[in-house]
């Protein structure tokens, strides 16, 4: 040990005297200074965690490369100078010689880890965060970076020992690329040649899409599995090093050394297998469930799909993406839903639901359908009316002894419970969960009974993907509103809980809506901005207040100029990637904003796009939804473009009061477009309000005329101007 | 009593055979290893220093089998490689400390005394605290000698220790070696025969991996008895002599050139047989004039 200490000390001297080894530290400092500068550019519109973890992955990768190279260098240096050969004539033992160097490389790597963690801690303390939170985040960073460096040093040594020439340096980037290539631009859709399970073979836990940080849920989801992953990494790092000692200068190795190494090798191998297995099963069960979900719903879209022409195929794809098709009319409604729900840690829920169901149709019926996720089990089904309940998949069929007449109502009571954990992105994310510090039950999880036979997930067969399907949640908007009275209790959940309907008293929520219920729990606060309830991460409170004000202006404008009442009662700011797929909830009751996109410059343009999408989603006909024809029966392409631009400008105008000409600069569609736009600019001389009025006129015309040839801007402008003069 | 016994040792680098069945016995004292470039001296020294393995034959060092008990041999060993390079970021003192610790001297105080002693021995006391990268070639060489001598090794192997040393340092080195030679076994290779002539009692001569001679240094010279001739010719005959004989030396005396040449038979030119030096003996051996 004393020998090792000496070796370490002298290696340390060499390390600190080598000017080149200061370079990585300088690079790190420059990188962080740049990040902080960038941060001030972006303004503080987002959480510090969000920013930190965005850059962290890059800095981690950069350092991984640098540390790997340094590890190779530390071995190569003495071999190339032949000093190693000389040292091999001394009594120093193989393990002492190599371990001294290995420890030095490790210390070097951990200096960078500590530097990063220190920057993180200081940065995080600038935000209102508790010490416990900061500690947890820094443990995460330390485990990720520290473990990654530990293992890259071991592999660096392995390369240097196995490849006794300059090519050992090339092995480092090669290794890093091989290991992180597959998960790197991981979108949650691994292609055919890929296997998401292989994404576990990385020097740091890469089981997330984009970044590990999930807004109001922080790093809670990844924390534990990352620690296990990194434990495995550490053990494997030691295992690899023991292997290096085992193969290094075998003729020089003493018997005792050999036996010790064999013991170390067997212990670390056993540990590595056990810990890796735990990590693997941890991920694999999520992945398996994701695949099961896909297979469970795969018929939903393709039941009428005949493997036929290309046309049919595209029709299906369009059907998959067109969430409007999720709405199926059903004559029955749930008038009142009294929901008593108990949430338990580990994704368990127990519920009792008192339902008042009404027949809004014109015919009597003796069968009523409900939808409830098949993950949940019905334990009781009662009614004063004589009925029988039967569940098949997500669907519950109530068969009544006496048919219900039109406008008749009846009451019933359902008791159900079970595990609601759901995964998205091939198990690298969770879309429905109940945990100690994070809860999310979106409507699309099917966690409470919905009226009718509703498809909870749409699945598209996709041969190019590893899992052979794509999956998305569905829109699920009811035909009739329901009055919900929710009584919410929880066990072991430590964070505040909120719902898409307002809270009346502690644990009680009441509201009437067609858009159903969503339940969120996490590190969040509630505030009211311009009459809209806003739920967000505490750090986003300030920036959200200005952003929601802008949204409010835009929504108010839509109401004023187009009679479109799209303003939501509640806005929740959730992280990116939190949805099964592309159906984002943007309803008048509950509007979800993506945390990643709500900060930075160009928020107004973002709002324009967002609201435009909302307009389309609310089912209002719009040029965008017209088919791409080009036949003489259809409206001119440029007319449609110009109307689009006018409409978007009118939303933008509510916030920025900028003229159309200014908004419309830099559009280059050619001469035909320029001629048509001249007419608009001519009208603009009458004032912005005049142009807004014309846009409204076009909007009405578009609703009436659709995409027919009649929708001709010049002709409509003539008519409008004539009307105005009168 | 032989301290190093080499029996029938052969070594090849892939296809190239660098040593052919070498048999060599070495006693306490200074032992010189001679041979032209590429003869296999370093190869043999590297083998004894436990760096290289060999293909066949046996070697024992102070009674230890070199193959089985190489760690025991390392405890006795001090080695200076032909191309010695120390990490330049160390000072001379730090480097020797480092080496001493790797040679198992864990007591810092003792180590300090030893390092000081050796720095004095190789005349580097002045440069104790200077970084090695600032050392001259000769200084580095002396530092190399010092590291070999750390820990009072019983077997000291020095591969061309005097290369790059100035004359006064060479004399100093020779004195140190002569003193150490009384107690320890020292094997050194060199191309400077005067280093060996005065201090080594025994020498071995290797050429192309084969041992041509081993025995007393003086006898190597006398081996060439009767084959070294002095020829005196006019300068104009210079080329003629060069072509006809192996020339050992030449000097000019007025209009005449005086040559020492190797020749088994008496040369055609007017020649007198002279008493051979060590160098003459060596040359005669290498050139196959004697066997
Ligand atoms: N690593 C090696 N691989 C292949 N051949 C080698 C290697 N090392 C030495 N040789 C060859 O073995 C022969 C002996 O080399 P060695 O270095 O022992 O000679 P030497 O007597 O020390 O010469 P010098 O006086 O030039 O130092 C040479 O022909 C050399 O080319
Ligand atoms: Mg040599």
| DSSP-derived secondary structure for A4-49 | HHHHHHHHHHHHHH-GGGHHHHHHHHHHHHHHHHHHHHH-S-S-HH
Taking contacts as CB-CB distances below 8 angstroms, the residues of chain A near B101 are 3, 6-7, 10
Q: Which residues of A441-468 are buried (b: 16+ CB within 10 A; e: fewer)?
A: bbbbbbbbbbbbebbbbbbbbbeebbbe
Stronger pLDDT, A462 or A244, i.e. the higher one: A244
My answer on whether A187 and A68 are in the same domain is yes
Instruction: Examine the domain organization and report whether A321 and A260 are in the same domain.
Output: no
**CA geometry: angle at A457 spanning A452 and A461, to 5°?**
135
Specify whether A323 is located in the same domain as A345: yes
Which residue owns the Cα nearest ligand 1 atom 31? B38
Best of B18, B36, B79, B193 to mutate for ligand 1, by most ligand atoms within 8 A of CB?
B18
Q: A651 in a domain, yes or no?
A: yes
Per-residue pLDDT, A69: 95
Other CB atoms within 10 Å distance of the CB of residue A121: 15
The reported pLDDT for the residue numbered A432 is 93
Task: Give the ligand 1 atom nearest the CA of B14.
Answer: 4
Contacts of residue A96 in chain B, CB cutoff 8 Å? 102
The residue to which tokens 């100093």 are assigned: B172
Q: Identify whether residues A200 and A257 lie together within a single domain.
A: yes
Q: Say whether A86 and B84 touch across the interface (CB within 8 A).
A: yes
Choice among A108-122, A578-592, A685-699, B78-92 with the minimum mean pLDDT: A578-592
Q: Does domain B2-218 have CATH number 3.40.50.2300?
A: no
Do B75 and A91 make contact, defined as CB atoms within 8 angstroms? yes
Q: Give B147 Cα–ligand 1 centroid separation in angstroms.
A: 23
DSSP lists the bridge partners of residue B207 as B210
Burial class (CB in 10 A: 0-12, 13-18, 19+), A397: middle
Does any ligand 1 atom lie closer than 6 A to the CB of residue B37? yes
A350 shares a domain with A497:
yes
Portion of chain A with pLDDT greater than 90, in percent = 55
Do residues A348 and A377 touch, judged by C-beta distance below 8 A?
no
For residue A60, pLDDT beyond 60: yes
Do A26 and A170 fall into the same domain?
yes
User: Does the beta carbon of B215 sit less than 6 angstroms from any atom of ligand 1?
Assistant: no
Residue A609 belongs to a domain: no
DSSP A194: -
| Ligand 1 atom closest to B43 (CA) | 18
Do residues A135 and A44 share a domain? Answer: yes
Q: Let me know: does B229 contact B271? Beta carbons within 8 Å.
A: yes
Can you tell me the distance from the alpha carbon of B41 to that of B205, in angstroms, rounded to the nearest whole number? 9
SS3 A314: helix
Q: pLDDT per residue over A436-495, tens digit each?
A: 999 999 888 999 999 999 989 888 888 889 998 888 888 888 999 999 999 999 999 999
For CA atoms A455, A458, A461, A465, the dihedral sign is negative
- Indicate the burial class of A378 (C-beta count within 10 angstroms; 0-12, 13-18, 19 or more): middle
Decide if A604 is inside a domain: no
Verify that A222 and A316 share a domain, yes or no.
no
Domain membership of residue A142 (yes or no) is yes
Task: Round to whole Å and give the CA distance between A428 and A283.
Answer: 8
**DSSP 8-state class, residue B208:** T
Contacts of B159 in chain A (CB under 8 A): none
Higher pLDDT pick, B244 / A588 = B244
Which of A451, A483, A514 marks a domain boundary? Answer: A514
CB of B192 closer than 6 angstroms to any ligand 1 atom: no
Average pLDDT over residues A508-534: 93
Instruction: Place A554 in a pLDDT band, splitting at 50, 70 and 90.
Output: very high
Do both A399 and A427 map to the same domain? yes
Q: Which of A138-147, A502-511, A641-650, A704-713 has the highest mean pLDDT?
A: A138-147
Q: Tell me the ligand closest to B206's alpha carbon.
A: 1
Report how many domains make up chain A. 4
The residue range of the domain holding A481 is 300-514
**Ligand 1 proximity of B128 Cβ (cutoff 6 Å):** no
Question: Could you tell me if residue A606 is inside a domain?
Answer: no
Check if A7 contacts B (Cβ < 8 Å).
yes
Q: Which of B74, B89, B99 minimises the CB distance to A17?
A: B89
Choose the final residue of a domain: A514, A549, A567.
A514
| A316 and A396 in a common domain | yes
Question: A77 to chain B, minimum CA–CA distance in Å?
Answer: 9
Q: Across residues A25-49, what is the average pLDDT?
A: 79
**Rounded to the nearest whole angstrom, what is the distance from the C-alpha of residue B82 to the centroid of ligand 2?**
6
**Alpha-carbon distance A244 to B51, whole Å?**
19
Same domain, A274 and A156: yes
Question: How does residue A629 score in pLDDT terms, banded at 50, 70 and 90?
Answer: very low
Chain B interface residues facing chain A, Cβ-Cβ under 8 Å? 49-51, 53, 70-71, 74-75, 77, 79, 81, 83-87, 89-90, 94, 97-99, 101-104, 106, 147
Q: Where is pLDDT greater, at A564 or A371?
A: A371
Number of helices (H), then strands (E), in chain B: 10, 14
Average pLDDT along chain A: 88
CATH code of the domain containing A322? 2.60.40
Question: Is A200 inside a domain boundary?
Answer: yes
Number of residues that make up chain A = 726
Q: Point out the least confidently predicted range of A536-545, A699-708, B13-22, B28-37.
A: A699-708
Note whether A10 contacts B: Cβ–Cβ < 8 A.
yes
Give the atom of ligand 1 at the shortest distance from the alpha carbon of B46.
18
Are A14 and B86 in contact (CB < 8 Å)? no
Q: What is each CA distance from A608 to A222, A551, A569, A655, A696, in whole angstroms?
A: 34, 9, 19, 10, 16
In this predicted structure, the answer to whether residue A43 has a pLDDT above a threshold of 60 is no
Place of tokens 């004023």: A560
CA distance B30 to B7: 20
Give the whole-number percent of chain A exceeding pLDDT 70: 92
Residues A230-259, mean pLDDT to the nearest whole number: 94
B87 pocket-lining for ligand 1 (C-beta < 6 Å): no
At A190-204, the pLDDT tens digits run 898 999 999 999 999
B82 lines ligand 1 (CB under 6 A): yes
Among chain B residues, the shortest Cα distance to A8 is held by B98
Q: Where are the domains of chain B?
A: 2-218, 226-274
Mutation target to probe the A interface, by most A beta carbons within 10 A, among B98, B107, B132, B157 is B98
Mean pLDDT over A637-652 rounds to 86
Evaluate whether A90 touches B99 at the Cβ level (below 8 Å): yes
- Would the CB atoms of B106 and A6 count as touching at under 8 Å? yes
How many other CB atoms are there within 10 angstroms of residue B148's CB atom? 26
Domain check: are A323 and A280 in the same one? Answer: no
Q: Which of A10, A85, A252 sits opposite B94 (nearest CB)?
A: A10
> Which residue from A163, A15, A179, A4 is spatially nearest to A92, judged by alpha carbons?
A4
Q: Which residues contact A422 (CB under 8 A, 6 or more apart)?
A: A289, A293, A375, A430, A431, A432, A433, A445, A580
pLDDT (tens digit per residue) in A339-387: 999 999 999 999 999 999 999 999 999 999 999 999 999 999 999 989 9
Using DSSP bridges, classify how beta strands A482-491 and A332-344 pair: parallel, antiparallel or unpaired.
parallel
- Establish whether residue B39 lines the binding site of ligand 1, counting it when its CB lies within 6 angstroms of any ligand atom: yes
Residues 6+ apart with CB under 8 A from A412: A354, A355, A357, A381, A382, A383, A385, A387, A398
Residues 250-289 of A with CB under 8 A from B: 251-252, 254
List the single residue in A with minimal CA-CA distance to B75.
A91
CA-CA distance, B169 to B165, in Å (whole number)?
6
At residue A617, the pLDDT reads: 75
> How far is the C-alpha of B291 from the C-alpha of B289, rounded, in Å?
7
Whether A468 is covered by a domain: the verdict is: yes
A85-114 average pLDDT score: 95
Rounded to a whole number of angstroms, the distance from the CA of A73 to the nearest CA of chain B is: 13
Q: Which residues of A touch B77 (CB under 8 A)?
A: 89
Residue of chain B nearest A6, judged by CA positions: B101
The domain boundary, picked from A458, A491, A514, lies at A514
Angle at A646 between CA A644 and CA A652, to 5 degrees: 105
In a domain, residue A646? The reply is yes
For the cut 60, the answer to whether the pLDDT of residue A41 exceeds it is no
Could you read off the pLDDT tens digit of each residue along chain B, which spans 291 residues? 889 999 999 999 999 999 999 999 999 999 999 999 999 999 999 999 999 999 999 999 999 999 999 999 999 999 999 999 999 999 999 999 999 999 999 889 999 999 999 999 999 999 999 999 999 999 999 999 999 999 999 999 999 999 889 999 999 999 999 999 999 999 999 988 888 888 888 999 999 999 999 999 888 888 888 888 888 888 888 888 888 888 888 888 888 888 888 888 888 778 888 888 888 889 888 888 776
| Nearest beta carbon to residue B81 from set A2, A14, A85 | A85
Q: Is the CB of B118 within 6 Å of ligand 1?
A: no
- Substitution site in B11, B16, B79, B204 for ligand 1 pocket (most atoms within 8 Å of beta carbon): B16
Q: Are A475 and A446 in contact (CB under 8 A)?
A: no
């Amino acid at each position: 040990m004393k020998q090792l200490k000496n070796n370490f000390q002298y290696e340390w001297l060499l390390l600190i005297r080598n000017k080149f080894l200061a370079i990585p530290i300088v690079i790190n400092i420059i990188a962080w200074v740049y990040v902080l500068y960038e941060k001030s550019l972006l303004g503080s519109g987002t959480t510090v965690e969000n920013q930190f973890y965005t850059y962290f992955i890059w800095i981690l990768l950069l350092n991984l490369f640098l540390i790997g190279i340094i590890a190779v260098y530390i071995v190569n240096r003495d071999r190339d100078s032949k000093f190693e050969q000389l040292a091999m004539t001394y009594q120093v033992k193989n393990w002492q010689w190599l371990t001294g160097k290995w420890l030095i490389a490790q210390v070097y790597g951990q200096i960078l880890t500590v530097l990063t963690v220190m920057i993180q801690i200081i940065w995080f303390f600038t935000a209102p965060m508790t010490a416990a939170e900061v500690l947890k985040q820094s443990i995460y960073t330390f485990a990720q970076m520290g473990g990654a460096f530990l293992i890259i040093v071991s592999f660096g040594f392995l390369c240097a020992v196995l490849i006794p020439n300059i090519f050992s340096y090339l092995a480092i980037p090669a290794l890093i690329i091989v290991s992180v290539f597959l998960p790197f631009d991981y979108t949650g859709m691994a292609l055919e040649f890929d296997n998401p399970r292989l994404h576990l073979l990385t020097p740091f836990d890469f089981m997330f899409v984009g970044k590990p940080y999930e807004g109001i849920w922080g790093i809670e989801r990844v924390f534990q599995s990352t620690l296990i992953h990194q434990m495995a990494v550490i053990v494997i790092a030691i295992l690899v090093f023991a292997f290096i000692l085992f193969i290094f200068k075998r003729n020089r190795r003493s018997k005792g050394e050999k036996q010790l190494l064999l013991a170390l090798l067997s212990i670390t191998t056993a540990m590595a297998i056990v810990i890796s297995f735990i990590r693997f099963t941890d991920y694999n069960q999520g992945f398996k469930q994701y695949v099961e979900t896909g297979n469970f719903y795969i018929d939903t879209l393709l039941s009428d799909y005949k493997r036929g022409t290309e046309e049919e195929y595209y029709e299906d794809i369009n059907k998959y993406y067109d969430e409007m098709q999720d709405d199926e009319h059903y004559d029955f409604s749930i008038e009142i839903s009294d929901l008593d729900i108990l949430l338990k840690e580990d994704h368990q829920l127990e519920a009792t639901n008192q339902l008042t169901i009404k027949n809004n149709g014109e015919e009597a019926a003796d069968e009523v359908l409900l939808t409830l996720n098949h993950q949940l089990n019905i334990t009781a089904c009662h009614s004063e009316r004589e009925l029988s309940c039967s569940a098949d998949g997500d669907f519950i069929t109530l068969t009544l002894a006496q048919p219900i007449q039109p406008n008749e109502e009846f009451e019933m009571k359902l008791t159900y419970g079970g595990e609601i954990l759901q995964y998205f992105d091939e198990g690298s994310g969770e879309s429905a969960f109940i945990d100690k510090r994070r809860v999310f039950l979106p409507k699309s999880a099917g966690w409470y009974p919905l009226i009718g036979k509703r498809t909870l997930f749409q699945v598209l067969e996709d041969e190019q993907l590893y899992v052979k399907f794509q999956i998305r949640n569905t829109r699920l908007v009811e035909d009739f509103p329901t009055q919900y009275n929710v009584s919410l209790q929880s066990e072991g959940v430590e964070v505040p809980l909120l719902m898409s309907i307002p809270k009346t008293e502690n644990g009680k929520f009441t509201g009437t809506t067609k858009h159903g219920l969503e339940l969120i729990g996490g590190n969040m606060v509630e505030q009211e901005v311009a009459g809209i309830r806003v739920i967000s991460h505490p750090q986003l409170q300030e920036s959200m207040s200005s952003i929601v004000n802008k949204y409010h202006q835009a929504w108010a404008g839509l109401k004023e100029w187009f009679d479109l009442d799209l303003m939501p009662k509640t806005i929740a700011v959730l992280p990116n990637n939190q949805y099964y797929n592309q159906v984002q909830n943007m309803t008048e009751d509950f509007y979800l904003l993506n945390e990643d996109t709500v900060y930075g410059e160009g928020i107004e343009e973002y709002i324009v796009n967002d609201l435009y999408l909302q307009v389309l989603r609310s089912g209002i006909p719009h040029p965008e939804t017209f088919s791409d024809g080009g036949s003489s029966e259809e409206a001119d392409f440029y007319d449609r473009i110009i109307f689009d631009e006018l409409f978007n400008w009118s939303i933008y105008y509510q916030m920025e009061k900028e003229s159309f000409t200014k908004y419309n600069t830099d559009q280059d569609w050619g001469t035909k477009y320029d001629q048509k736009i001249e007419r608009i600019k001519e009208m603009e001389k009458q004032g912005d309000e005049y142009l807004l009025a014309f846009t409204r006129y076009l909007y009405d015309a578009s609703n009436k005329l659709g995409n027919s040839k009649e929708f001709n801007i010049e002709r409509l402008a003539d008519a409008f101007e004539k009307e105005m003069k009168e | 009593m032989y301290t190093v016994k080499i029996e029938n040792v052969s070594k090849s680098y892939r296809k190239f055979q660098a040593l052919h069945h070498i048999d060599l016995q070495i006693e306490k004292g200074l032992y010189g290893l001679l041979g032209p470039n590429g003869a296999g001296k370093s190869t043999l020294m590297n083998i004894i220093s436990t760096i290289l393995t060999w293909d066949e034959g046996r070697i024992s060092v102070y009674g230890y089998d070199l193959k089985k008990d190489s760690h025991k041999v390392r405890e006795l060993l001090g080695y200076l490689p032909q191309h010695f390079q120390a990490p330049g970021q160390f000072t001379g003192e730090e480097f020797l400390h480092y080496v001493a610790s790797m040679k198992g001297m864990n007591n810092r105080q003792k180590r300090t005394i030893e390092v000081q002693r050796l720095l004095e021995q190789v005349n580097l006391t002045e440069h104790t605290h200077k970084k090695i990268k600032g050392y001259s070639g000769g200084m580095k060489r002396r530092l190399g000698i010092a590291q070999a001598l750390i820990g009072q090794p019983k077997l000291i192997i020095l591969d061309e220790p005097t290369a790059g040393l100035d004359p006064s340092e060479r004399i100093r080195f020779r004195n140190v070696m002569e003193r150490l030679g009384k107690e320890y076994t020292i094997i050194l290779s060199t191309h400077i025969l005067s280093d060996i002539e005065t201090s080594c009692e025994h020498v071995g001569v290797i050429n192309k991996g084969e041992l041509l001679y081993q025995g007393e240094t003086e006898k190597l010279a006398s081996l060439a008895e009767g084959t070294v001739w002095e020829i005196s010719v006019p300068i104009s005959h210079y080329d003629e002599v060069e072509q006809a004989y192996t020339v050992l030396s030449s000097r000019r005396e007025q209009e005449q050139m005086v040559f020492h040449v190797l020749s088994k038979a008496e040369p055609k030119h007017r020649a007198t047989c002279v008493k051979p030096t060590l160098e003459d003996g060596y040359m005669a051996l290498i050139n196959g004039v004697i066997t």
